Amino acid sequence: HRKDLGRDGYSFFDSSMNANAQEYLQLIHDLRFAVERGELVLHYQPKFDDPAQPVVGAEALVRWNHPSRGLVLPDDFIPVAEKTGLITAIDNWVLNEACRQLKIWRDTELGADWTVAVNVSAVQFRHPQLIETVRQALDRHQLPARSLILEITETTTMRDVEESLAILQQLAKMGVKISIDDFGTGYSSLMYLRRLPANELKIDRGFVRELKQDTEDAAIVSAIVALGKALSLNVVAEGVETMSQQKLLAELGCNSLQGYLLGRPMAADDFMCAADDRLQTN
């Protein structure tokens, strides 16, 4: 009966779509239960204001510990979660888990001033409960609002600018810090940036990857640094993998860094050990 299912010259069952479509459906099915089964884990990547100084905080990055596939990275399930609405449960779990972990760290001497950065998806950013969810997470874990950074991509904030500004203003009023992630990939106007109640611009990894002296990338980085200075925003470079990238970024005026060179995303316990080791050897 295969032929009967075929339309416009292709059969659903014969096409290579078959395996992909089935796998996709299976993924959605599995993801639906991932949160309640406790299969999500957070890894933490260190953030530095200055690579010569101790860690100032961590970015929480979600991973899915799938029973048969192993550790699945966010790019392979966050887009699916956004399309199916499962993202709300995931983002809420991430927010609470990151706050729970931060509270543990801040109760230690080493981590007393640490911050945690949480990525907010486009869907979650516009969720009517966002403000309340954030407030509750902070209250539940007895954290000051300034210890939480919400990372929102430039592209997300650029959609419906007026609505975005209203949401960001409410978050800023609460005292939560705002970081504009993947900066440089969207099309923010200077006028818009001036009104944006943000604290940080995160230069997209794409500009750091092949960063060399006197290239377009270098010009863009220094333009973003100048923009940050003019608007009193901290500028962070992400994806720093080599010493030469770090050196050039410093020359361009960017000392806030994140990347494999300084620390990979790691489990919470490893993060604490790495931060401690770093302090001992410095």
**DSSP letter, residue 66:** E
Contact status: 181 vs Mg ion (CB under 5 A): yes
Q: How far is the CB of 260 from Mg ion (least distance, A)?
A: 14
Instruction: Using the minimum distance from each CB to ligand C2E, give the nearer residue, 180 or 240.
Output: 240
Name, in order, each residue with C-beta under 8 angstroms of 109's C-beta and a sequence gap of 6 or more: none
State which of residues 119, 157, 164, 255 lies at the interface with Mg ion (CB under 5 A).
119
Q: Please, which of residues 212-271 interact with Mg ion by CB under 5 A?
A: 238
Closest CA to 201 of 174, 178, 223, 172: 178
Q: How far is the CB of 241 from ligand C2E (least distance, A)?
A: 4
Name, in order, each residue with C-beta under 8 angstroms of 11's C-beta and a sequence gap of 6 or more: 2, 3, 5
Contact status: 200 vs Mg ion (CB under 5 A): no
Instruction: Using the minimum distance from each CB to ligand C2E, give the nearer residue, 40 or 225.
Output: 40
Instruction: Using the minimum distance from each CB to Mg ion, give the nearer residue, 119 or 246.
Output: 119
- CB pairs under 8 A, 24+ apart, for 40-43? 40/64, 40/65, 40/90, 40/93, 40/94, 40/97, 41/65, 41/267, 42/94, 42/97, 42/98, 42/101, 42/268, 43/265, 43/266, 43/267
- The DSSP code sequence of 27-57 is HHHHHHHHTTTT-EEEEEEEEBSSTTSPP-E
Q: Which of ligand C2E, Mg ion, none does residue 260 bind (CB under 5 to 8 Å by kind)?
A: ligand C2E
Q: How far is the CB of 11 from ligand C2E (least distance, A)?
A: 36
Strands 234-237 and 70-72: unpaired
Where on the chain is the footprint of ligand C2E (CB under 6 A)? 45, 61-62, 73-75, 78, 91, 94, 119, 121, 151, 181-182, 205, 238-241, 258-260, 265
State which of residues 151, 154, 200, 217 lies at the interface with Mg ion (CB under 5 A).
151
Q: Which of Mg ion, ligand C2E, none does residue 4 bind (CB under 5 to 8 Å by kind)?
A: none
Q: Which residues bind Mg ion (CB under 5 A)?
A: 119, 151, 181-182, 238
